[in-house]
Amino acid sequence: MTTFFKLFVVFIQSFSLPIYAQHETCTINDGWKFLKADCVTAPDIAPDNGKWDDVHLPHTWNTDAYTDKDYYRGVCWYRRTLNLPSTWNGKQVFLKIDAASKAASIFINGKEVGEHIGGYTACTFDITSFCSFDSPNSLAIRVDNARQDVPPISADFTFFGGIYRDVWLTAVPKQHFHLTNHGSDGIFISTPQVSEEKGTILIRGEIKNDAPQKAVLELEHILYGPDDTVIQTQKQSVQIKAGELYAFRTETAPIAFPLLWTPETPYLYRIESILRDKKTKAILDRSNHHTGFRWFSFDGEQGFSLNGKPYKLRGICRHQDQNPIGVALTDEMHRRDMKLMKEMGANFIRISHYPQDDALLEQCDKLGMLAWEEIPIIDIVPDTPGYAENCERNLREMIRQHYNHPSIITWGYMNEILLVTQRRYQKEEELKPVLERTLALAKRLEEVLKEEDSTRASTMAFHGSNSYNEVGLGSITDIVGWNLYQGWYGGDLTGFERYLEEQHKMYPSHPMIVSEYGAGSDKRLHSLRPQAFDFSIEYQQKYLEHYLPVLEGTPYVCGGTHWNFIDFSSALRDESMPRINNKGLVYSDRTPKDVYYYYKAAWRKDIPVLHIASRDWTRRAGIQQGETPVMLPIKVYTNLPEVELFIDGKSLGKQKVTNYTAIFDVPFSHKEHYVSAKAENREIAGSGCIIEDGIHLSFTPVPAQLDGINLRSLELAVNVGSNCFYTSDESQLTWVPDQPYTKGSWGYVGGESKNSQTQVENTNDGPLFQTLRNGIESYCFDVPNGVYEIEFLFTDVFRENAATAYQLGRNSDVESRENCFSIIINDETVEEDFSPCRESGYFHALRKRYNITNFRNKIEIRFSTRNGKSFLNGVKLRKLY
Ligand code: L9D
Ligand code: CA
């Protein structure tokens, strides 16, 4: 038996379906061959095993996007044998691909079945006439992720290619529910009447008769309540001519006091639709759907309301990838993400920037998560022929495929569409036609959206510029989404609320969502003085601690969706983690960051939350004056009113909690510490219940005054040009933030600090090399005489590159220049006319180590410029003798 047939038999047995009756469906994710190249003979000739790889679905060919900016975009092939059971002979057979990015052409036994354009929506083909039921069939699929006529064409994420969701085979009797309606299952459910007192359900759909003679059928809908008891049944007779489609439309009788669907109470009703042969009563097809009773509104003054009550949308945006597997996620992984978001207390998801897996939508309904789903028209509308048609088709597909999910409240179709538009076309006359086609496409899609679904709101997401209103985009959709990054890409944190106020004043009737806001973070970087764009874990905390209270406290803002739930793949990005956009609330592997618990503390009212931040910072260091312990702040996130903190079991007292945060000053000494927090939970789970959290931390003091004794075992490593501690994943060494030199201590003299966000080659410690002191005059250590090892870190970043592409509104301050300087240590020239870029190349890490004998009770390193400017990215000092 072939694998397929075995699987098929298992499938049949496990569901004990009568062989000849009704709808049979199963995945065909296994046994595929894959070729990472185009191949004209692929539909006709069996794959050459030397060249084709064995793969199974979900699959992407773009795991290279984690290392290469220029990841593979082009044509690839998938091929598989299909052995169809002979019992399917006489049935209608369909192939469904849940997603193939960006476009797929399907061939069976060498003949082209059809093409699907769009990488994020499903497609279904009737393959009956192409198939043999008594000999093996070849199925070949050509997938292309380079197409410029298919959205997205420009965006801050990787356009992973491949068949990265499930592929299904379905066999049905000749009379069946219509399966080739834009990848949907042909049945559409809505709730035309819905209130606390009563609700009705409208069931629409089509039946297809693929037989050469007319059919007399019976269509039955059975409505089940949330407890699975039958509430109503409806039957009707149907007559369909050969080859025709029959459209049905049935509204149920009113259901009194329906249990309303909300994220807190996700009550689902079920509609089972059964198609029978009128005479024999044999079941031909059967289809199940969930629906929920809920109504909602968006208002410019009142914000969002659900079932008649004001309701704050507490949301996150979600990309669909995971390092190192790209977008080839299993359904379980999608469900895991939904659980994590729900666990955090979110009630809303922006499924960004494209339609996602059915597994995710199913969970939105079942776990209770309102949803915004959108198609990926991003940055600019190109004039490529066919682009607008493809957008329209993808929009219709998304809506029809996910129409039945009660969780969905809004559909979107454009994101920051003026961003690249304005950057690329600055002259009035060049910009005009682009704006015209952008507006025309928006209007066209708005019409299509409402024609497809008048029950949901429409939306677009803008970046923080009023030009969207000025050009007329602001008044097209029902809701306006703002992607705001004040205090990240530019401006300061309070610019956020000012922007919202201004918009509200100018357009008081526009319902508004903050569709994005977020800050990058890297667990190797920590700071006691966090700054915008330093990628420290602490700046992300600070940024979100500012944004969230504004969102919660501004009634006219419907809510917000944090950007992004995960650290996601964006091959073009060069930041602290090249190829990754690290604004996640969880890491790529879904381990929560501290801020996840901040949201959880703010949003969960039903369980106690207590979390000591910064969890990742387990090897701490700090500058020590003399022998006194080093005082460092420790932050606790909690939804309880008061917290007590302990170090090694000793209480540091209690603190009142504000903004779900309490900060303690904690004395650290040179050892392993155990820091714990306790809070009494009277509010949530009855009185007297104590909640605890604890973390182990090691602490290494860095002496402010260096003497012979404390130097003996010290590796003084300084992250020059940075306000951040940097801990290397490889050596575990912590590099401390830089400081200006003061007599008796150590530090830099002259220059200014610079944070260049570019990829640094030759090292895995990129962030350490990205920051530097530009124009540095000298570096001094007031240390006793002896023999020392000194190491310098350099990376010349003074050349233009493409790194700034997605740094919204951040000015690129790149100077291109030649840098050449001499290095003199205590009057001895160790480098004459030294040029780091000549030695290792621009953007390459370079480390240089010297042994020197100190006779002066001071090490002074002077930089004397020959060309350009002197600079230093890091310095390390060890006393040898
Ligand atoms: C946006 C921001 C995001 C980007 C999003 C985009 C970011 N530029 O990833 O795709 O919509 O992290 O910078 O607003
Ligand atoms: Ca540095």
pLDDT in tens, 403-453: 999 999 999 999 999 999 999 999 999 999 999 999 999 999 999 999 999
pLDDT tens-place string over residues 269-292:
999 999 999 999 999 999 999 999
User: Token pair for residue 144?
Assistant: 């292309």
Smallest-distance ligand from the CA of 717? 2
User: Token pair for residue 868?
Assistant: 């350009």
**From ligand 2's centre to the CA of 767, what distance in Å?**
7
> Among 477, 473, 475, 394, which residue's Cα sits nearest to residue 434?
473
| Annotated catalytic residue 627 | no
Output the residue whose Cα is nearest ligand 1's atom 5.
156
Smallest-distance ligand from the CA of 564? 1
What is the layout of strands, in order, in the sheet containing 746-749?
746-749, 778-781, 859-867, 820-825, 828-834
**From ligand 2's centre to the CA of 625, what distance in Å?**
23
pTM to 2 decimal places = 0.95
Mutate to test the pocket of ligand 1, among 421, 808, 810 (most ligand atoms within 8 A of CB): 808
Output the residue whose Cα is nearest ligand 1's atom 9.
156
pLDDT tens-place string over residues 1-44:
344 444 444 444 434 344 445 789 999 999 999 999 999 999 99
Q: Quick one: average pLDDT of 160-164?
A: 98
**From ligand 1's centre to the CA of 415, what distance in Å?**
9
**Angle, alpha carbons 147-152-158 (nearest 5°):** 95
As beta bridge partners, residue 643 has 655
Question: Omega of the bond prior to 869 within 30 degrees of 0, cis?
Answer: no
Task: Rounding to the nearest 10 degrees, give the CA dihedral for residues 782, 788, 793, 796.
Answer: 80
Residues 6+ apart with CB under 8 A from 827: none
The residues placing their C-beta within 5 Å of ligand 2, an ion, are: 719-722, 771, 873-874
> Among 510, 391, 385, 367, which residue's Cα sits nearest to residue 445?
391
Question: From CA 451, how far away is CA 53, in angstroms rounded?
Answer: 44
Question: From CA 626, how far away is CA 839, in angstroms rounded?
Answer: 41
> What is the pLDDT, as a whole number, of residue 812?
54
Smallest-distance ligand from the CA of 157? 1
The rounded Cα 226 to chain-centroid distance in angstroms is 32
Mutate to test the pocket of ligand 1, among 316, 483, 489 (most ligand atoms within 8 A of CB): 483
Quickly state the pLDDT bin for 516 (edges 50, 70, 90).
very high
Question: From CA 358, how far away is CA 165, in angstroms rounded?
Answer: 9
Residues 6+ apart with CB under 8 A from 332: none
> What is the pLDDT, as a whole number, of residue 175?
97
> What is the pLDDT, as a whole number, of residue 818?
86
As beta bridge partners, residue 850 has 790
With b for 16 or more beta-carbon neighbours within 10 A and e for fewer, the 611-648 pattern comes to bbbbbbbeebbbebeeeeebebebbbbbbbeebbbbbe
User: Token pair for residue 178?
Assistant: 């219509």
pLDDT tens-place string over residues 627-642:
899 999 999 999 999 9
Mutate to test the pocket of ligand 1, among 516, 521, 533, 569 (most ligand atoms within 8 A of CB): 516
Helix (H, G, I), strand (E, B) or coil at 147: coil
Which residues approach ligand 1 with their CB closer than 6 A?
Answer: 155-156, 415-416, 463, 483, 516, 563, 581, 583, 806, 808
CA–CA distance from 797 to each of 400, 772, 831 (Å)? 50, 9, 20
**From ligand 1's centre to the CA of 518, what distance in Å?**
9
Say which of 24, 392, 397, 416 is annotated catalytic: 416
Length in residues, the chain: 881
Question: From CA 57, how far away is CA 43, in angstroms rounded?
Answer: 19
Quickly state the pLDDT bin for 500 (edges 50, 70, 90).
very high
**From ligand 2's centre to the CA of 669, what distance in Å?**
26
